[in-house]
Amino acid sequence: MFALGALHLLYSFHGPNLRPRDPELEDRLKAVSPAIARRTTMWKCWIGFNVSHAFGLLFFAFVYAYLALAQSALLFGSAYLASVGGLLLGGYMVLAKRYWFSAPFRGVTLATVFYVAGFIASRV
Encode the chain (124 residues) as per-residue pLDDT tens digits: 999 999 999 999 999 999 999 999 999 999 999 999 999 999 999 999 999 999 999 999 999 999 999 999 999 999 999 999 999 999 999 999 999 989 999 999 999 999 999 999 998 8
Residue type, 56: G
Domain that holds residue 14: 1-70
- 9 CB neighbour count, 10 Å cutoff: 17
| 90 shares a domain with 66 | no
Residue type, 8: H
| 11 shares a domain with 32 | yes
| 89 shares a domain with 103 | yes
| 43 shares a domain with 8 | yes
| 83 shares a domain with 53 | no
- Cα–Cα distance measured from residue 102 to residue 34, given in angstroms and rounded to the nearest whole number: 29
